[in-house]
Structure 1
Amino acid sequence: MPKNKGKGGKNRKRGKNEADDEKRELLFKEDGQEYAQVLRMLGNGRCEAMCIDGIKRLCHIRGKMHKKVWIAAGDIILIGLRDFQDDKGDIILKYMPDEARLLKAYGELPEGTRLNEGIIVDDEDEGAGDDYIEFEDADVDKL
């Protein structure tokens, strides 16, 4: 008879669907912390982020968040700065989209920050909506 080797299957390792993040208190930055926007994910629990102070930093996802909070490019995060390395930091918190909008409304984030990085709006090309071709009935009959 085979022995039981563990405490359960892969579903146990995934954990419960914790929905307590919906109503959490909005955390503002303190000294030694900075807001940033993720530029790209690098793998191995690291990402490249552009901080609000204009410095591009290599950030490490802390162990409490690793494989529990998924971070993607364009997300607004809170970074803990390092005293001994100015170009590196640790990700403390990922802001949900509604929290990021509140931060922008409170003036914590600059006005030029684009919160929805996946949506590209091009203000220069205002006639972009007119990119269609009209066919007349005679043209359709030739096809």
Structure 2
Amino acid sequence: MNKPQKPQMTEEEAVSRIKMPKRKELEMFAVTTQLVGGDKIKALCEDGVERVCRIPGKLRKRVWIRDGDLIIVRLWDFQPIKADVVWRYIKVQTNHLKKKGFLDKLPIEDGF
């Protein structure tokens, strides 16, 4: 038996519901640079620091993260060189954020 498929999100729906990082909770944009293995990735954050990020179990099997993906990370308050992945953006959302100027500090290709 196959699972019933969820209807795909249209471009307008994807752009209208874009999650933004909460600066008060130490969240920021980042771009994945390397998949380390298991539940770890390396990501270049918008402050210019490359951090080791952990993919929590809530996202691990549901959201697949690849090199070059735009994500939101939450820094650890006790060890700021590490972070947790909070959200992964799809291509349409990344292009919209780039047009709006939110991603000027990150190295994201136009053809993403």
Equivalent residue, structure 2, for 1:66: 60
Q: 2:76 & 2:106 partners in 1: Cα distance?
A: 26
Q: Please state whether the residue corresponding to 2:77 is helix, strand or coil.
A: coil
1:30 is aligned to 2:22: yes
Equivalent residue, structure 2, for 1:91: 85
1:40 is aligned to 2:34: yes
Q: Which amino acid aligns with 1:71?
A: I
Unaligned runs of 5+ in 2: none
Q: Which amino acid aligns with 1:27?
A: K
Q: Please state whether the residue corresponding to 1:113 is helix, strand or coil.
A: coil
Q: 1:54 & 1:91 partners in 2: Cα distance?
A: 17
Q: 1:80 & 1:97 partners in 2: Cα distance?
A: 21
CA RMSD of aligned residues (A): 2.3
Structure showing greater radius of gyration is: 1
TM-score by length of 1: 0.65
- Over 3 Å counting, the alpha-carbon distance change for 1:103 and 1:42 in structure 2 is same
State the 1:114 CA deviation. 2.0
Higher strand share: 2
TM-score by length of 2: 0.81
Kept in 2: contact 1:77–1:91 (CA 8 A)? yes
- Over 3 Å counting, the alpha-carbon distance change for 1:42 and 1:109 in structure 2 is same
Kept in 2: contact 1:82–1:89 (CA 8 A)? yes
Equivalent residue, structure 2, for 1:80: 74
Q: 2:72 & 2:60 partners in 1: Cα distance?
A: 15
Q: 2:111 & 2:44 partners in 1: Cα distance?
A: 13
Kept in 1: contact 2:43–2:51 (CA 8 A)? yes
